[in-house]
Structure 1
Amino acid sequence: MLSLPWQERLHQTLRRLRNNGAEPRVALVGMGHTLYGDDGAGILLTQLLRPLERDMEGLLVVNGGSAPENCTGLLRRFMPDLVVLVDAAQLDEAPGTIQWIPSEMTSGFSASTHTLPLHLISCYLSMELVCEIVLLGIQPRRLNFGSMSLIVEAHVREMAKALEGTFKAFLTDDPGNREASICHVQEDQPIPLRLPYVCRERYL
């Protein structure tokens, strides 16, 4: 189930949703805490990808912090077809490894700073939103108090580039984007270390 690369699993899912006759609506929810090392990986990803929202009506990027269940109202108003949770997870792999984990398989993975376990968050959101839920798990190197490890930060930045290219290919009407190469996120812009906020009430 986890053998295919996460990019291919995402492409397959978006292609299937697109074949249903409408542009898919995707909510990406970063989870974690920026003060605890690599637990902030999901939050860093949301900071890198948030500018894409300006040009994509079918994309919502949410900083879920340590209590993503509190963003349910925002997600419900957006009405996504797919919710992608992004979080540090113990995968027993090399630091920075990323895996696509279907919601029904999240019970075997642990995270450190959430108010609810991953499988309960997935189950709750699935029932509330009636849509597909998946987890992109990122293997941390360290979860103690302090900054993110360089290896995990590098993988998150590469992940942001890949997601930007995928979202531009599947969430826009321009067919030329189907063949576009992965676009680059500026790597020379520092990401500030700050306490996560719960979510932005953008859809009132």
Structure 2
Amino acid sequence: MPFPCAENFPEKLRAQLRGSEKVFVLGIGMNWKSDDRLGVALARALAKKLPAHPDIRIISGGEAPENFTGVIRTFAPSHVILLDAVDHCLPPGTVFLADESSIAVGDMTSHHLPLRLLMRFLGTSLPARVILVGVQPRTLLPGNKLSAAVKRTLPRLAEFLAQTLREQINK
């Protein structure tokens, strides 16, 4: 695997995307908080690799991803992928899949709406599968650069996600 990952990430993601018809990808994070910017940067990198695909919509939602729930509903996806830096007690730069139940209720978040609540809202208001692709941050302190480990993961993960989405859409 060209990037560090946990729990059979590639196979699990492919399995969750099997049968997908339309996928909405939402990058989450704050640009001024070191590795927290990962979701936003990853969404931008992915959008460059999948320009104008009719069944894939990619948006960088920043620190207020809840502002895009109307856009998501209008697109009517079969799957929603959230991209975010999430502390999962793994080595920095490690990629993993998480569901709502694996995100602690009291987890601190840098976003306006806690990630678990966003996942629950999307999961109950849409007939779509909600998937969180998380990357373990090294630091979430203020700063304008990604850590070396997360920076190494970003382009490789973007390439993997682009290839996987191309393969799985309408399969």
Using the size of structure 2 for normalisation, the TM-score is 0.88
User: Could you say which residue in structure 1 is the equivalent of 2:97?
Assistant: 100
Task: Provide the rounded CA distance (Å) in 1 between the counterparts of 2:82 and 2:63.
Answer: 12
Alignment gaps of 5+ in structure 2: 1-5
Give the superposed CA RMSD.
Answer: 2.1
Give yes or no for the alignment of 1:76 onto 2:73.
yes
Give yes or no for the alignment of 1:118 onto 2:115.
yes
In structure 1, give the amino acid aligned to 2:162: E
- Whether contact under 8 Å (2:25, 2:83) holds in the other structure is yes
124, 142, 145: which one pairs with 1:145? 142
- Whether contact under 8 Å (1:27, 1:84) holds in the other structure is yes
User: Could you say which residue in structure 2 is the equivalent of 1:7?
Assistant: 10
- Whether contact under 8 Å (2:49, 2:159) holds in the other structure is no
- Structure 1 residues 46 and 54: alpha-carbon distance in aligned structure 2, compared to 1, 3 A threshold: same
User: Could you say which residue in structure 2 is the equivalent of 1:169?
Assistant: 167
- Structure 1 residues 100 and 108: alpha-carbon distance in aligned structure 2, compared to 1, 3 A threshold: farther
Secondary structure of the residue aligned to 2:26 is: strand
User: Could you say which residue in structure 2 is the equivalent of 1:64?
Assistant: 61
- Whether contact under 8 Å (1:89, 1:137) holds in the other structure is yes
Task: Provide the rounded CA distance (Å) in 1 between the counterparts of 2:107 and 2:150.
Answer: 17
Over the matched positions of the two proteins, sequence identity in percent amounts to: 30
- Whether contact under 8 Å (1:90, 1:109) holds in the other structure is no
Shift of residue 172 of structure 1?
6.6
Give yes or no for the alignment of 1:39 onto 2:36.
yes
User: Could you say which residue in structure 2 is the equivalent of 1:185?
Assistant: none
Q: Which has the larger radius of gyration?
A: 1
- Whether contact under 8 Å (1:69, 1:125) holds in the other structure is no
In structure 2, give the amino acid aligned to 1:48: A
Shift of residue 106 of structure 1?
2.4
Secondary structure of the residue aligned to 1:40 is: helix
Shift of residue 109 of structure 1?
8.1
Using the size of structure 1 for normalisation, the TM-score is 0.75
Task: Provide the rounded CA distance (Å) in 2 between the counterparts of 1:57 and 1:109.
Answer: 38
Runs of 4+ in 1 over 4 A off after TM superposition: none
In structure 1, give the amino acid aligned to 2:91: A
More displaced, 104-113 or 127-136? 104-113
Shift of residue 104 of structure 1?
3.2
Task: Provide the rounded CA distance (Å) in 2 between the counterparts of 1:31 and 1:68.
Answer: 6
- Structure 1 residues 109 and 5: alpha-carbon distance in aligned structure 2, compared to 1, 3 A threshold: farther
Relative contact order: is structure 1 or structure 2 higher (C-alpha 8 Å, sep ≥ 6)?
Answer: 2
In structure 1, give the amino acid aligned to 2:69: T
More displaced, 154-163 or 47-56? 47-56
User: How many residue pairs are counted as aligned between the two chains?
Assistant: 166
